[in-house]
Chain A
Amino acid sequence: MKRMALTVTFTLLAAAQAQRVATPVPIGVAVAQTSNTALLGQEQVIGARFAEKFLNARGGIGGTPIKLVFQDAAGDENSAINAFQNLITKENVVGIVGPTLSQQAFAADPIAERAKVPVLGPSNTAKGIPQIGQFIARVSAPVAVVAPNAIKQALRLDPKIKKVAVLYAQNDAFSTSETGTFQDTAKAQGLNVATVQKFQTTDTDFTTQVTAVLNAGVDLVIVSGLAADGGNLVKQLRQLGYKGSIIGGNGLNTSNIFPVCQQYCDGIIIAQAYSPAQPSAANQVFVKEYRAQYKKDPPQFAAQAYAGVQVMVEALKAIDRKKKLGTWNLNDLRAELNKQILAGKYNTPLGELRFDKDGEIIQKDFYVAQIKMKDAKTGSFVFLK
């Protein structure tokens, strides 16, 4: 009996010990490091690493450094769920930045919600993400806010546009959400949506869709997909003779698309939630560091991941000022962190941002960029006025 009591006591003590907040403070980053989504996830890893380096150099959280714990969320729902579970139960992270795709967020975020672990989506722009639960917020402006800017800019560049083809990946939650916004905006702008075509993110042959688009005689094609399939679709559109304007959705918003569509990427118009020209001090530091290391401007996905880590760290700092992080029980800290994230105001590379009560981002500025290719391999996003 005595031995049993001792065992129970030790177990409880061990459990209590495990529930303390570790130092350096672990923050989970669950983004795609493999699969075709890794084209986006690689940029997020870079952005998060920059934030870790920069914020630790500035004293971390009241002198305690942070440590990012990366888990590969790949491009599918199961991998994202596994990544979240590992971060929550094995790595004892205080919060999670991730996953990469909205599709994955709908599957993995409920795991964090049940465990009461705050999540910041760095690129989940589909409708309904913050509404998944109280612990779910995002630093990625919803597609319904960002995407319409691309159509307005395309019309500014070519006022003669009348007929539009819309193509989207029907097996991706984000793309299906984004295409709805694009179609509504196109109609609201008085454009005729001549054809709507579906494809899968795993498709490689788009000749059927392209043939239908050419047959419809449109002046503008709007593509909602991911970088690999979307880039390939653009390539085949151009190779089969389409000469009009092309708008890409947020999934195509990465320089990793350049090796996919090569010189045919030239001219794609993409709305942005981020611009390297954003004048905030946080952004200028980020841009300087990024340019020094990669010899190019940082992309939106890197900036959003940076902002995700920064928001979490600043919220932790605010908590630490009231009561030292080391004295918190992990579960209590996670709940407090969630409250603090939603209460704060942050100056990030995306500009000033805060959250509404659901965890939806409130962001001021949006931009539109056009891809300009120098040759088959190198290009850049040129921001349009």
Chain B
Amino acid sequence: MEASQLLQNLLNGLAIGSVYAIFALGYTLVFSILGIINFAHGAVFTLGAYFTYTLVVGQFENNGLLKGVNLFPQGSPLSGNPWAFALATLVGAVIAGFVAVLIERLAFRPMRARGADPLLALVSSLGVALVIVNLIQLLVGAEIYNFPSDAYGEVRPALSFQIGDRVVIVRTVQIIIFAVSLAMLAVLGYVIGRTKVGKALRAVAESPGTASLLGISVDRFILITFFLSGFLGGLAGTLVGTAFGVAGPYFGVTYGLKGLAVIVLGGLGSIPGAVVGGLVIGLAEAFVPADYSAYKDAVAFALLFVILLVRPQGLLGRTQIQKV
């Protein structure tokens, strides 16, 4: 492989891997608090992209109940320049966060209150995911939606530089994805590691009973966790949608599965693990030989399988010690 292609693949892999990482962090946060996988996370990812699309475009042309609706006949105020688009992305992610809170109230809390098996909560979240996906299809149709390129305004052209006789080009949107993901990871790392909220979250994750005795409202922090998880999922949805288009209501299914691979690879419940796992899978996909790139999803899961054979707890996970 030539140096230019190597570098191009590396940059492509880092961009997509960083989205996998922030998406997977949503899974990890919920898992570390409740010890269960929230299967509705992929649907929240999809919703995030649709929320931003609604704020930026507000027009639905495909085969859904909203066909023909135009929320902004004069053009959206959240479109046309990068800052307006960033604001729409942020608001979209916040709404996605509130949807995740709603999911917690409807699908997880009732189960927890009855002391139900965690497996039931998992099935319940799967049901919520299917309802959301079908609701999206009913409302806006099943077709792909694209953010119009003028929605970001006049963004700088893609980064490009020459290596030998080849030009390496990185799309502007890839740079934005990478930068936003890094910023989110830094903020989240700070919140979890350095703030009181973060300490409380870690306490709840370690032992809900003890945290409750220390005066921490466990239910409140579970809601905060779900909000953060939904926010990260929704943000990842918009970032991917901006780069590649919002590919219909089932858009989040593949990313949902890949997010699972990321957190298992990185180590269940490990925040640094989710980041490393995301980057490893993104890079692995980018380096699949181009002739076989149609199989890149299979390659990601094959890599997961191989690594788990060698290190069952994942790359940065801790071995569970069973006390007898």
The interface of chain A, by Cβ under 8 A from chain B, is: 33-36, 38-39, 42, 74, 170-171, 195-200, 202-205, 207-209, 211-212, 214-215, 228, 232, 235-236, 239-241, 259-260, 262-263, 376-377
Contact A38 to B62, CB < 8 A, known contacts A208-B288, A215-B4:
yes
Inter-chain pairs besides A205-B244, A239-B171, 20 sampled, C-beta below 8 Å: A36-B247, A36-B248, A171-B294, A197-B293, A199-B294, A204-B240, A204-B251, A205-B285, A208-B9, A208-B286, A209-B293, A211-B5, A215-B5, A228-B144, A228-B247, A240-B171, A241-B160, A260-B146, A263-B149, A377-B148
The reply to whether A376 and B290 contact each other, CB–CB distance below 8 Å, is no
Query: Which residues in chain B, 157-216, are within 8 Å of chain A measured between CB atoms?
Result: 158, 160, 166-167, 169, 171, 173-174
Residue of B nearest to A258 (CB): B146
A358 to chain B, nearest CB (A): 32
22 contacts between A and B (CB under 8 A): A34-B142, A35-B142, A36-B144, A38-B63, A38-B141, A38-B142, A39-B143, A74-B142, A196-B291, A197-B291, A198-B292, A198-B294, A204-B245, A205-B16, A205-B285, A208-B12, A211-B12, A212-B290, A214-B8, A228-B143, A240-B171, A241-B169
Residue of B nearest to A165 (CB): B290
The reply to whether B63 and A208 contact each other, CB–CB distance below 8 Å, is no
Q: Which chain A residues border B12 with CB–CB below 8 Å?
A: 207-208, 211
The reply to whether B148 and A376 contact each other, CB–CB distance below 8 Å, is yes
The reply to whether B294 and A200 contact each other, CB–CB distance below 8 Å, is yes
B150 on interface, CB distance cutoff 8 Å: yes
Q: Which chain B residues border A239 with CB–CB below 8 Å?
A: 158, 171, 173
Contact among A42, A171, A204, A262 for B244, CB-based, below 8 A: A204
The reply to whether B167 and A241 contact each other, CB–CB distance below 8 Å, is yes
Contact A260 to B144, CB < 8 A, known contacts A36-B248, A199-B294:
yes
B258 to chain A, nearest CB (A): 11
Q: How far is the CA of A240 from the CA of B172 in the complex (A)?
A: 10
Contact A35 to B294, CB < 8 A, known contacts A240-B169, A260-B144:
no
Q: Which chain A residues border B296 with CB–CB below 8 Å?
A: 208
B2 on interface, CB distance cutoff 8 Å: yes
Contact A376 to B294, CB < 8 A, known contacts A33-B63, A208-B286:
no
The reply to whether B243 and A205 contact each other, CB–CB distance below 8 Å, is yes
Residue of A nearest to B282 (CB): A205
Contact A211 to B8, CB < 8 A, known contacts A36-B248, A42-B63:
yes
Q: How far is the CA of A290 from the CA of B312 in the complex (A)?
A: 62
The reply to whether B148 and A36 contact each other, CB–CB distance below 8 Å, is no
Residue of A nearest to B9 (CB): A211
The reply to whether B166 and A207 contact each other, CB–CB distance below 8 Å, is no
Query: Which residues in chain B, 136-154, are within 8 Å of chain A measured between CB atoms?
Result: 137, 141-146, 148-150
Q: How many residues of B contact A (CB 8 A)?
A: 45
The reply to whether A204 and B247 contact each other, CB–CB distance below 8 Å, is yes
Query: Which residues in chain B, 231-273, are within 8 Å of chain A measured between CB atoms?
Result: 240, 243-245, 247-248, 251, 254
Q: Which chain A residues border B63 with CB–CB below 8 Å?
A: 33-34, 38, 42
Query: Which residues in chain B, 56-79, are within 8 Å of chain A measured between CB atoms?
Result: 61-63
Residue of B nearest to A203 (CB): B294
The reply to whether A197 and B290 contact each other, CB–CB distance below 8 Å, is yes
Q: How far is the CA of A260 from the CA of B62 in the complex (A)?
A: 13
The reply to whether A232 and B245 contact each other, CB–CB distance below 8 Å, is yes
Contact A208 to B293, CB < 8 A, known contacts A35-B142, A202-B254:
yes
The reply to whether B158 and A240 contact each other, CB–CB distance below 8 Å, is yes
B146 to chain A, nearest CB (A): 6
Q: Which chain A residues border B144 with CB–CB below 8 Å?
A: 36, 39, 228, 232, 260
Residue of A nearest to B148 (CB): A376
The reply to whether A38 and B143 contact each other, CB–CB distance below 8 Å, is yes
Query: Which residues in chain B, 1-50, are within 8 Å of chain A measured between CB atoms?
Result: 2, 4-5, 8-9, 12, 16
A260 to chain B, nearest CB (A): 6
The reply to whether B243 and A208 contact each other, CB–CB distance below 8 Å, is no
Contact among A36, A203, A211 for B143, CB-based, below 8 A: A36
B162 to chain A, nearest CB (A): 12
The reply to whether A34 and B137 contact each other, CB–CB distance below 8 Å, is yes
Q: How far is the CA of A226 from the CA of B148 in the complex (A)?
A: 20
Q: Which chain A residues border B240 with CB–CB below 8 Å?
A: 204
B298 to chain A, nearest CB (A): 11
Q: Shortest 8 CB-CB distances between A and B: which pairs? A: A212-B290, A204-B244, A198-B294, A207-B12, A208-B293, A34-B142, A228-B144, A241-B169
Contact among A39, A208, A259, A376 for B285, CB-based, below 8 A: A208
The reply to whether B143 and A376 contact each other, CB–CB distance below 8 Å, is no
Q: Which chain B residues border A204 with CB–CB below 8 Å?
A: 240, 244-245, 247, 251
Contact among B16, B62, B167 for A207, CB-based, below 8 A: B16
Query: Which residues in chain B, 114-159, are within 8 Å of chain A measured between CB atoms?
Result: 137, 141-146, 148-150, 158
Residue of A nearest to B251 (CB): A204
Residue of B nearest to A240 (CB): B169
B238 to chain A, nearest CB (A): 14
Interface centre among B62, B169, B288, B294 (most CB of A within 10 A): B294
Q: Which chain B residues border A171 with CB–CB below 8 Å?
A: 294
The reply to whether A36 and B142 contact each other, CB–CB distance below 8 Å, is yes
Residue of A nearest to B295 (CB): A198
Q: Which chain B residues border A228 with CB–CB below 8 Å?
A: 143-144, 245, 247-248
Q: Which chain A residues border B294 with CB–CB below 8 Å?
A: 170-171, 198-200, 203
Q: Which chain A residues border B148 with CB–CB below 8 Å?
A: 262, 376-377
The reply to whether B149 and A262 contact each other, CB–CB distance below 8 Å, is yes
Q: Which chain B residues border A232 with CB–CB below 8 Å?
A: 144, 244-245
Residue of A nearest to B19 (CB): A205
Q: Which chain B residues border A199 with CB–CB below 8 Å?
A: 293-294
Q: How far is the CA of A340 from the CA of B84 in the complex (A)?
A: 62
Contact among B146, B158, B160, B251 for A262, CB-based, below 8 A: B146
Q: Which chain B residues border A260 with CB–CB below 8 Å?
A: 144, 146, 245
The reply to whether B149 and A215 contact each other, CB–CB distance below 8 Å, is no
Q: Which chain B residues border A377 with CB–CB below 8 Å?
A: 148
Q: Which chain B residues border A259 with CB–CB below 8 Å?
A: 61, 145-146
Q: How far is the CA of A259 from the CA of B143 in the complex (A)?
A: 11
The reply to whether A198 and B293 contact each other, CB–CB distance below 8 Å, is yes
